[in-house]
Amino acid sequence: MFTNSSLYSYEEGVAKNNDIEIYYRDYGPVDAEPILLVQGLGGQLINWPQHLIDFLIDNNFRPIVFDNRDTGLSSRIESDAFSKDKIDSTIVRSYIRYYLRMQVKSEYTIDDMADDAVAVLNELNIENAHVLGISMGGMIAQVLVANYPEKVKTFTLIASTASTPSPFNGPTRKVRKLLMNRTKNPDASMDERIERTRKIFKEIGYEGTDLNTTEFYENTKTSIERAGKDDTGFGRQITAILGSPNRIERIETITAPTLIIHGAQDPLIKVKNAHKAHKHIQNSTLKIIPDMRHLIEPPVFDQFKEDLLIHLNK
């Protein structure tokens, strides 16, 4: 299926990883350098910043984006433990078990999600590609790059971690509470859900960004409508993060040229995680953005886009 955006045409389709369907968008052109972008917790393919997509296309790259399982138009995983009336208690129990260093039960793992990403490349008959992952998408991308080195040209890791999040390297208490609130009151109105999103973005986004705009409201509304009312997948993705082992030994096997980008002010994944990843990925370059939090708004992207281009053109 071909659809037009404001500037470009793109193709959308479904890739399969066994019985899991992964919905993707291929911006093309097919003769450009493919780059697979892997989204973070709860993120959909439509949530990638348009300025990033435009920059890649303008520089002869072929952005390929997709909905992780349990988001957007990709498969939802059925689970009684994450029904609307149980999801909050399930997430709380998972956090408690994790902090007590007990095994967290998850419906799937980060490794499974990495295989979903590879299924997209296989569906498009792409032998190898550049890989860029942000936040949870960076965790997924780490596994992909480590497990499938033959499929990777370069690796870009943004605002992510190779360690499972903890009170020492993970979100601040305020951000953690806001994320937990996302699954509360499944019957919340559209305005209430948009306000919850606005509060999260205010904490993790670029300081001073005006979120009380018609554009933010409409973009968030479109995202919520596309994902549907069932937001239980957000909880399952959280437990996938908590239930997956640290990837320190895995990233030590990465040989692809790697660019690590992280915000000095990131309240969701502390900047110490970037330094740790840089230490363990042998062929890596680290760039810390002083005023970046967790997102890549235009003022943030402007500070590393040339570094990204040089990296991708190696």
**3: pLDDT confidence band, cut at 50, 70 and 90?**
very low
Give the integer Cα–Cα distance in Å for 159 and 178: 18
Alpha carbon distance 160, 140 (integer Å): 10
- CA 287: distance to chain centroid? 19
- Band (152; pLDDT cuts 50, 70, 90): very high
Confidence of residue 147 (pLDDT cuts 50, 70, 90): very high
Structure confidence at residue 89 (pLDDT): 59
Q: What is the mean pLDDT of residues 86-113?
A: 68
Listed by start position, the domains of the chain span 2-312
CATH class of domain segment(s) 2-312: alpha beta
Nearest CA to 139 out of 44, 214, 237 is that of 237
Alpha-carbon distances of 158 from 48, 163, 211, rounded to whole Å: 13, 14, 23
DSSP lists the bridge partners of residue 22 as: 15
Cα 144 to the chain's mean position, in Å?
13
* Residue 19 DSSP label: T
Specify the pLDDT at position 149: 98
pLDDT tens sequence across 88-99: 555 556 555 555
